[in-house]
Amino acid sequence: MAKKGASISGFPEWLPAERVVEQGVIDTLRRVFELHGFLGIETRAVESGASLLKKGETSKEIYLLSRLQEFGQDDDTPVEEHLGLHFDLTVPLSRYVVENSGDLVFPFKRWQIQKVWRGERPQEGRYREFTQADIDIVGNGSLPDHYDVDAPLVMVEALEGLRPFGLPEATVHANNRKLSEGFYRGIGIDNVDDVLHQVDKLDKIPAIEVSQLLQSEAGCTPDQAAACLALAELQASDGDQLRQTFTSLCSQQGIDQTSDAYQMAAEGMETLAMIIDEAARIRPGSVIADLRIARGLDYYTGSVYETFLDGAESLGSVCSGGRYDNLASQGSRKYPGVGLSIGVSRLVSYLLHSAGATTSRVSAAAVLVAVWNEEERSVSDHIASSLRSRGIAADVAPTAAKLGKQIKYADKLGIPYVWFPAQEDEPDQVKNIVTGEQTAADVSVWSPADDYARQAIVVAGKGN
């Protein structure tokens, strides 16, 4: 038996009205994704430990599976050989693409909205079990760079669709791993992955602490750490500005423009400049270059993205991702991809608790059919069944209570219409309990007004 107050930290459960908001968010995202030609899939909840560790996460964040009879027994089996719950949707996608490559049409554009599990410390907006919404575009052998522009712009449009829920305007901050790696190598740093892991913490801890970590954990000299932070401070809203500021910094650091390191950085810079300029042409101001974006995950090879909400910077990034060329492969065949992921549960938490999102309809039913007495309940059931056969969601009053109580029940659930079955010489009637209007109705032709035919999300409180 469940006990009140026995909730488990990091595993959110929404009340019915909150679930309506969550479902509205999911439906909006899915609609935008499909408008852009993305195909929906769902993958299994478990993957091999070897697959899960590909992303560079520590084994401490993976929930491993074991049966109760195995609990407490010594187990020397390596993590790689266990099964574990997936902690994101990108690693499962890479496995899915390889296994089904013969049946997929490339470039494969997929959307996926599914639960994931991650063993991190629960805090506001961060959970151990949560819903993610991903889009990815995966090529067979190659993938054109223009998809590095398309993917973040689709996510911007999807987040724009959540503005009626109270979501602020979103801006994608983009960088390129080749740009960062080339710069780091140009100033004499070899352990690039360690540097990226530390730079990725700039949104979480002060720059002075990141500098100390760069020296203590990544082996940087004080001058190298300062140069890394100087790179991270660069932002640009157009390609020319990016080229000028980056070239100037490289000159200040004495990086040889004929070196392989500089050529790598320049390649990344040109890709990033293209993304910023193309995005500005299609959706001005939606994507900016921000060289602090590191995405400290090992498999990214090019473009990387983080998305922030205006006025809600403390929430951190709500949508992130990037380009990966080597995550999915089969022999010599590679399946490069680019994608982004929205933390749906984080967004819903923000909308409910900060933006004040709520719903005027808890129940999906548009009509509650009243019951005059229990002996005639079958009449009410038949009316509800007839309405449902025509696609109109209907419920039946739980008891033959006084009409006032039945109407109050409908009002609590946000059901806008109450249907009164015919009595003696009176025909069936429908009452709009929002406007108070009551009219005769024929169950074979009556339909609710468009405004009441669906669940309506409204914004209240701070977001209003």
Report CA 461 to chain centroid distance, whole Å: 24
Q: What per-residue confidence (pLDDT) applies to 1?
A: 40
Domain that holds residue 447: 367-459
- Tell me the pLDDT tens digit for each residue of 62-115: 888 877 666 666 666 777 778 889 888 998 999 999 999 999 999 999 999 999
d(C-alpha 318, C-alpha 202), whole Å: 16
Both 417 and 333 in one domain: the answer is: no
Look at residues 323, 358, 393 and tell me which one is the last residue of a structural domain: 358
Query: What is the domain count for the chain?
Result: 2
Both 291 and 425 in one domain: the answer is: no
Reduced to 3 states (helix: H, G, I; strand: E, B; else coil), residue 135 is strand
Query: What string of DSSP letters covers 296-360?
Result: --TT--SEEEEEEETT-GGG--SEEEEEESSSSEETTEE--EEEEEEEHHHHHHHHHHTS-EEES
Q: Domain of 455: which CATH number?
A: 3.40.50.800
- Tell me the pLDDT tens digit for each residue of 227-285: 999 999 999 999 999 999 999 999 999 999 999 999 999 999 999 999 999 999 999 99
- On whether 295 is known to bind a ligand per the annotation, the reply is yes
Both 249 and 382 in one domain: the answer is: no
Helices (H), 73-187: 90-100, 147-160, 177-186
- On whether 305 is known to bind a ligand per the annotation, the reply is no
- On whether 388 is known to bind a ligand per the annotation, the reply is no
Q: What per-residue confidence (pLDDT) applies to 218?
A: 93
Phi–psi pair at 98, nearest 5 degrees: -65, -45
Both 290 and 387 in one domain: the answer is: no
Q: Which position has the token pair 């009879």?
A: 69
Q: Domain of 133: which CATH number?
A: 3.30.930.10
Cα-based distances in Å from 305 to 170, 183, 209, 289: 12, 18, 23, 9
Report the predicted TM-score, pTM, of the whole model to 2 decimal places.
0.89
- On whether 277 is known to bind a ligand per the annotation, the reply is no
Q: What per-residue confidence (pLDDT) applies to 296?
A: 65
- On whether 132 is known to bind a ligand per the annotation, the reply is yes
Domain membership of residue 95 (yes or no) is: no
Look at residues 306, 328, 358 and tell me which one is the last residue of a structural domain: 358
- On whether 147 is known to bind a ligand per the annotation, the reply is no
Domain membership of residue 67 (yes or no) is: no
- On whether 90 is known to bind a ligand per the annotation, the reply is yes
Both 260 and 292 in one domain: the answer is: yes
Q: Which residues face 64 on adjacent strands?
A: 84
Both 346 and 420 in one domain: the answer is: no
Both 416 and 274 in one domain: the answer is: no
Both 399 and 331 in one domain: the answer is: no
Both 337 and 371 in one domain: the answer is: no
Look at residues 303, 330, 358 and tell me which one is the last residue of a structural domain: 358
- Tell me the pLDDT tens digit for each residue of 381-438: 999 999 999 999 999 999 999 999 999 999 999 999 999 999 988 999 999 999 999 9
